[in-house]
A and B are shown apart, each in its own frame.
Chain A
Amino acid sequence: MTTAADLLSRPRLLHPVAWWIWGLLLAASATRMTNPFLLLLICAIVGCVVLQRKEVGTRNALGLFIGIALLAVVVRVAMMVLLGSSVGGRITLVTLPEVPLPHWMAGVQLGGPVMLAGLLDALYTGLQLAAVLLCVGGCNALADPRRLLRYVPATLYDAGTAIVVAMTYVPQLAEDAASVRRARRLRGHSGRGLRELAALVVPVLENSLERSISLAASMESRGYGRVTLDRSARRRATALTIIGLAGVLVGLFGLLGGPTPASLGLPVLVGGLVIAAMALMTGARRDQRTPYRRDPWGLPETLVVLSGVVPLAVVSVGLRRGWSGIVPAQVPATLPHVSVAIALALLVAAVPAVLAPRTPRRAEREDRRRLRPPTDPEQGPPISSLRRDPELSRSKA
């Protein structure tokens, strides 16, 4: 049996940038709607794709984000119930006892009637926030953000290196702390309590600074940092940065209703952002560093990105045309209408669950499971050969 994903590509890790674009596009669609059914559909899509395409044995970041998302909904609803809401409406669910407040807190209301419309509004917008968080959590689970560090532009190369150094040294810090503590216990200290913990600080700090100096010396002796952007590229980047930032500032003032005309606000802001982004990219073409085993960008990557573009485009068009069911009204409170076109468009975003290449370890496990029942030896590749294939056994490098 060959799956559709295997026809497009052998099992490999998808380019992390593709997963992040897909997730952020889906999050962008979620920010444009408050229909609870559509938002739940987005959550389901993210969960389904993560279940199908997360590499086996990596940390499941989605759990953390589900926790935060639930917290966001609960906090929101609880605050609405306790403090009332400005939405209005006519249907009162319950009336809580109202707590009198001092006069300087005028306008604040603690307790009082809980309106259905207000509750629904808090729930819908809370769900929106939750859906966006889940999309970002899905990105975290599908493509570890650390893998993105390999794709930073040349202007951020040094910053990226510093963060890679930091990630490498964290485990060593724990070892340092453990060995200092062991040494103290050998000298007859208990090794427990706040005072002992405080005694760790300076030795661990000294140790790691010592290590940073020897690391710097070894980097220096291997010629690190001698290949950098030339002066003209750097000057161009500085000029672009300042022009871009000034544009952003002017645009922002326009959007906030300042002296700049409001119609100018958004275009100037976007223009400034584009110029600032160009500053990041300056000199990237002439960067002389050679990459090590970059992930390829192939047809599956393009398909994954496109599957994120479709829902956003349809939702944006729908919003402009005023389709019902994207932003349902809470007053009067009715069951939100779900437009079939939008639901189908959202389902396009679930395509990666089928078409994105299977991850290597998951594919190996699935194939092994399929091959385990005693079949005749001519059928299918033996597992040992799968394991020896260097491309397959390559985990996230």
Chain B
Amino acid sequence: MSPRRRDELLVWRWSSTVTMTLMTIVGFLSFTWPFFVSSESTLATSNDAPWLFPVLVGLLCLVLVAQLSGGTMDAKSVAVLGVLAAMGGALRVLSAGTAGLEPLFFLLVLGGRVLGRAGGFLLGAFAITTGAFLTSGVGPWLPFQMFAAGWVGMGAAMLPAVRPRLERWMLTAYGLVAGLAYGAIMNLWFWPFLGSSAPSGAGFAATASLATQLQHYAVFYGLTSLGWDLPRGVLTAVLVLLACHPVLAALRRALRRAAFDAAPTFDVRTSRGTSEDFVG
């Protein structure tokens, strides 16, 4: 089951929807601006324009995290997000250097599914940040990675609620797609840095049409990173397929147990089943 509204780890307010929508558009443009830029605009002609976007995305990512976490995070969500982000960071450090084999995404997909939209986004962002801090690898790529990983976690939470058996296959397919899409979009942030000197036919040319740009990018992507992204997508899918049920069950049980402020309800018919709600 997809988390019901009241089961989500963090409250999702209307302002979260507005902020997230605006940020998603800005973030999407920050990733894909090479495709949309018109030839006579300042971005196309200026030399240091590509550097605008790491700064922009970095600052806005902080704003978004503040908006999603502000006022809604209590001790429980801090602890759960912290411990899960620790697992994500550890997985990321372990997998550093192995070509594309990143088991982190498996945690993001399943964790995001259980934690809900805000929790899933924050899990992705925190796990990436923890991994970066552990390796002292805080660079201009970090904001983009936080954003993309947050999307992966949030996307898993936004998939429809289905029966458990179907959910397993749905998450497996999602893992495959997310692993591939993450790589495709993460290449975009530094593609324009290749600038004017980029190879003809695979480089960013601000004057070219959208179709040409897409074709160039496809060539660039196929040449440089498909070999890295395919293993990641497949690994994520396989891990989700194998461990979906036990991991989801463990996460859901933990969240239910951590509901300290759940109001006790005494229902004559189900009173035997709800005793777990008071454990904590």
Binding site for B on A (CB under 8 A): 28, 31-32, 34, 59, 61, 64-65, 68, 75-76, 79-80, 82-87, 105, 107-109, 118, 121-122, 124-125, 129, 132-133, 136-137, 139-141, 144-146, 153, 155-156, 158-159, 161-170, 173-174, 198, 201-202, 204-206, 208-213, 215-217, 219-220, 224-225, 228-229, 234, 237-238, 241-242, 244-246, 248-249, 252, 255-258, 262, 265-266, 269, 273, 276-277, 279-280, 327
> How close is A320's CB to chain B, nearest CB, in angstroms?
13
Of B47, B80, B219, B223, the residue contacting A216 (CB under 8 A) is B80
> Residues on B close to A: CB < 8 A?
15, 18-19, 22-23, 25-26, 29-30, 33, 36-44, 47-48, 51, 56, 59-60, 62-63, 65-67, 69-71, 73-87, 89-90, 93, 122, 126-127, 129-130, 132-140, 193-203, 205, 212, 215-216, 219, 223-224, 242-243, 246-247, 250-251, 254, 257-258, 260, 280
Check A220/B59 contact, CB under 8 A, given A64-B137, A159-B126, A165-B78.
Answer: no
Of the candidates A85, A170, A246, the one having the most CB atoms from chain B within 10 angstroms of its own CB is A170
Q: With a CB–CB cut-off of 8 A, which chain A residues contact B243?
A: 198, 201-202
A85 to B204: give the CA distance in the assembly, Å.
11
B85 contact set on A, CB distance < 8 A: 162-163, 165-166
A209, B60: Cβ atoms under 8 Å? Answer: no
Contact B15 A163 (CB under 8 A): no
Q: How long is the Cα–Cα vector from A174 to B90 in the complex, in angstroms?
A: 9
Would you call A163 and B42 a contact (CB within 8 A)? no
What residues on A are CB-neighbors of B81 within 8 Å?
A: 162, 165-166
Q: Which residue from B19, B42, B93, B200 sits with its C-beta under 8 Å from A266? A: B42
Q: How far is the CB of A28 from chain B (nearest CB, A)?
A: 8
The answer to whether A145 and B133 touch across the interface, beta carbons within 8 angstroms, is yes
- Contact, CB under 8 Å: B90 / A173: yes
Closest 3 CB pairs of A and B: A165-B82, A257-B38, A83-B199
A237 vs B71: C-alpha distance in the bound complex, in angstroms?
Answer: 11
Contacts of B77 in A (CB 8 A): 162
Question: Considering the chains assembled together, what is the distance between the CA atoms of A175 and B117 in angstroms?
Answer: 31
Measured in the bound complex, the distance between the Cα atoms of B82 and A34 in whole Å is 42
Check if A166 sits within 8 Å of B15, measured CB to CB.
no
Are B134 and A84 touching (Cβ within 8 A)?
no
Main secondary structure of the interface of A (DSSP, over half): helix
Q: Is the CB of B66 within 8 A of A279?
A: yes
Known interface pairs A105-B219, A209-B80; A80-B199 also in contact (CB < 8 Å): yes
Our pick among B42, B47, B136 for the contact of A265 (Cβ within 8 Å) is B42
Chain A residues with Cβ under 8 A from B82's Cβ? 161-166, 168-169, 212, 215
- Kindly list chain B residues whose C-beta atoms are within 8 Å of the C-beta of A108: 200-202, 219
CB nearest neighbor in B for A275: B63
The answer to whether A216 and B76 have CB atoms under 8 Å apart is yes
Q: Is the CB of B63 within 8 A of A245?
A: yes
Q: How far is the CA of A99 from the CA of B59 in the complex (A)?
A: 45
**Cβ A257 vs Cβ B37 within 8 A:** yes
Q: Is the CB of B197 within 8 A of A76?
A: yes
Residues of B within 8 A of A216 (CB): 75-76, 78-80, 258, 260
Partner of B201, one of A59, A109, A122, A202: A109
| Contact B41–A255 (Cβ < 8 Å) | yes
CA distance A45 to B126 in the complex (A): 33
- Choose among B36, B194, B216, B242 the residue with the greatest number of A CB atoms under 10 Å from its CB: B194
**5 new A-B pairs (CB below 8 Å) besides A61-B136, A163-B85, A169-B86?**
A144-B136, A159-B73, A162-B78, A162-B85, A257-B44
User: Chain A: which residue is nearest B67 at the CB level?
Assistant: A241
Report whether B137 and A61 are in contact in the complex, using a CB–CB cutoff of 8 Å.
yes
Taking a contact as CB atoms under 8 Å apart, the answer to whether B197 and A118 are in contact is: yes
Give bound CA distance, A31 to B52, whole Å. 10
Beta-carbon contact of B69 and A165 below 8 Å: no
List of B residues within 8 angstroms of A80 by Cβ? 197-199
Report the minimal beta-carbon distance from B96 to chain A, rounded to whole angstroms: 10
Give Cα A108–Cα B201 distance, bound, in whole angstroms: 4
Tell me whether A125 and B195 are in contact in the complex, defined as CB-CB below 8 angstroms, given that A155-B66, A212-B82, A279-B63 are known contacts: yes
Bound-complex Cα distance A253 to B139 (A): 26
- Whether the pair A136, B78 counts as a contact (CB closer than 8 A) is no
Chain B residues positioned under 8 Å from A118 (CB to CB):
197
Docked complex Cα distance between A59 and B134 (Å):
10
Kindly identify which residue among A201, A212, A280 contacts B80, using a CB–CB cutoff of 8 Å.
Answer: A212
B48 (CB) vs chain A CBs: closest residue: A31
Contact (Cβ within 8 A) A256 B37: yes
Residues of chain B with a CB closer than 8 A to A145's CB: 132-133, 136, 138
What's the nearest-Cβ distance from chain B to residue A195, in Å? Answer: 11
With the chains together, A215 CA to B82 CA distance in Å? Answer: 10
Docked pose: A86 CA to B129 CA in angstroms: 37
Q: Which residues of B contact A133 (CB under 8 A)?
A: 139-140
